[in-house]
């Protein structure tokens, strides 16, 4: 069993985009009321009293869109300043980042992943469900601002959707040649978008690697990360290419993370809610931290039995009710 030492913390379930692979057009989402969200202090208390004593040292802040969360910079600073924090990262769509990159960096955030599914503004707006003014330029400004203030590594997450942005694979890969940027190609997943999930809704990572290799060549990189990506590099490139292949090359046996939702539910798996724990209620009712840690430890021990393969084969008996935006991807 892998050491489970990585906690993904969803700060909010709302997002200012409606990406078709996350919140398809027409989907109805009941957003959490503010009182239902964990407060900043409750998040810090859980990190300090529950997760750090269990050996957690790596934390990632997600959403929805985490930059919509009031007080997010203060929260970053508090987690970054904990002596046990070895790694703190954030995943964002980048739209609000241009004005926040410096504050986040000064607060102690050093690693950031930004979603960028297209370099074409029209395609980008199609993917994010934009109904009005294009949001591509402001997102790109957020990416360049993060680069300029010194985020390293700066990672770009790309979900490849056949017939939508699959013609841009080489253009996106080329971003790594002259910049120390790290592009991560992610296979399209059936989360809140089942009506879009047809037989050919995802492209295997191996096909993407072959396209890139045919153009420039491709070799395995010496760079490693905290996540499930298989890392490669175009010869001579400053950055790297990662491939997250949850559909074609299930990586459950390498997973080292659990997930805390914005309303305080701890889940062992993105695609499975089996064994989930309501940490918010335990915290607000004053439950003994030692007892809560024991529950979390049991969930961690259960984790190897809960994986995507079970769902794919139809053998999983657990429940799954939330979209990606509600869980925190």
pLDDT, one tens digit per residue, over 48-79 is 999 999 999 999 999 999 999 999 999 999 99
CA dist 45 → 41, 75, 82, 262, 284 (Å): 6, 12, 11, 14, 11
Local confidence band at 320 (pLDDT 50, 70, 90 cut-offs): very low
Rg (CA), the chain: 19
CATH (domain of 119):
3.20.20.70
Cα(67)–Cα(112) distance, integer angstroms: 12
pLDDT at 314 over 50: no
- The answer to the question of residue 202 being in a domain is no
- The answer to the question of residue 272 being in a domain is yes
Q: Classify residue 314 as exposed, middle or buried by CB count within 10 Å of its CB (0-12, 13-18, 19+).
A: exposed
Beta strand residue intervals within the chain, DSSP E: 6-10, 58-62, 87-92, 111-115, 154-160, 181-187, 219-220, 230-233, 240-244, 257-260, 265-267, 277-278
Total-model pTM: 0.90
Local confidence band at 27 (pLDDT 50, 70, 90 cut-offs): low
Expressed as residue numbers, the domain containing 285 is 6-177+249-327
- The answer to the question of residue 283 being in a domain is yes
pLDDT at 216 over 60: yes
Local confidence band at 319 (pLDDT 50, 70, 90 cut-offs): very low
- Please indicate whether residue 261 or residue 248 has the higher confidence score (pLDDT): 261
Strand 154-160 with 257-260, pairing: unpaired
- Please indicate whether residue 311 or residue 239 has the higher confidence score (pLDDT): 239
Question: What is the reported pLDDT for 312?
Answer: 44
> How are strands ordered across the β-sheet holding 265-267?
219-220, 230-233, 240-244, 181-187, 154-160, 111-115, 87-92, 58-62, 6-10, 257-260, 265-267, 277-278
- The answer to the question of residue 222 being in a domain is no
Local confidence band at 316 (pLDDT 50, 70, 90 cut-offs): very low
Give 133's contacts (C-beta < 8 A, 6+ positions apart).
none
Provide the 3-class DSSP secondary structure of residue 98: coil
Query: Is-contact 328 10, C-beta < 8 A?
Result: yes
- The answer to the question of residue 1 being in a domain is no
Counted domains in the chain: 1
Give the CB-side neighbour count of residue 251, counting CA atoms within 13 A: 17
Q: What average pLDDT does the chain have?
A: 87
Listed range (88-92, 177-181, 231-235, 242-246) with the worst mean pLDDT: 242-246
- The answer to the question of residue 215 being in a domain is no
In the chain, pLDDT over 90 holds for what percent of residues?
Answer: 64
Local confidence band at 131 (pLDDT 50, 70, 90 cut-offs): low
Question: What is the reported pLDDT for 308?
Answer: 56
What's the CA dihedral at 121, 122, 123, 126 to 10 degrees? 120
- The answer to the question of residue 226 being in a domain is no
- The answer to the question of residue 54 being in a domain is yes
């Amino acid at each position: 069993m892998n050491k489970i030492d990585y906690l993904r913390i969803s700060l909010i379930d709302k997002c200012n985009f409606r990406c078709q692979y996350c919140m398809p057009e027409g989907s109805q989402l009941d957003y959490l009321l503010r009182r239902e969200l964990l407060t900043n202090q409750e998040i810090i208390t859980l990190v300090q009293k529950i997760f750090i004593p269990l050996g957690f040292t790596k934390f990632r802040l997600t959403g929805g869109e985490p930059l919509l969360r009031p007080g997010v910079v203060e929260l970053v600073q508090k987690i970054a300043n904990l002596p046990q924090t070895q790694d703190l990262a954030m995943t964002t769509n980048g739209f609000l980042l241009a004005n926040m990159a410096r504050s986040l960096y000064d607060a102690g955030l050093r690693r950031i992943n930004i979603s960028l599914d297209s370099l074409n503004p029209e395609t980008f707006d199609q993917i994010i469900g934009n109904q009005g003014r294009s949001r591509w330029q402001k997102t790109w400004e957020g990416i360049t601002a993060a680069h300029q203030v010194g985020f390293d590594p700066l990672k770009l997450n790309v979900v490849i959707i056949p017939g939508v942005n699959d013609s841009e694979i080489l253009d996106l890969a080329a971003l790594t040649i002259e910049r120390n940027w790290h592009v991560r190609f992610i296979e399209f997943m059936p989360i809140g978008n089942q009506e879009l999930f047809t037989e050919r809704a995802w492209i295997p990572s191996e096909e993407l690697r072959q396209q890139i290799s045919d153009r420039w060549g491709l070799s395995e990189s010496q760079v490693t990360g905290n996540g499930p990506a298989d890392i490669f590099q175009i010869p001579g490139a400053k950055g790297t290419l990662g491939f997250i292949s949850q559909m074609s090359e299930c990586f459950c046996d390498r997973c080292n993370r659990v997930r805390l939702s914005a309303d305080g539910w701890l889940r062992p798996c993105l695609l499975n809610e089996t064994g989930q724990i309501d940490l918010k209620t335990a915290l607000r009712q004053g439950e003994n931290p030692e007892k809560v840690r024991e529950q979390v430890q049991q969930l961690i021990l259960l984790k190897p039995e809960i994986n995507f393969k079970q769902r794919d084969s139809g053998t999983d008996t657990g429940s799954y009710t939330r979209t990606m935006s509600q869980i925190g991807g």
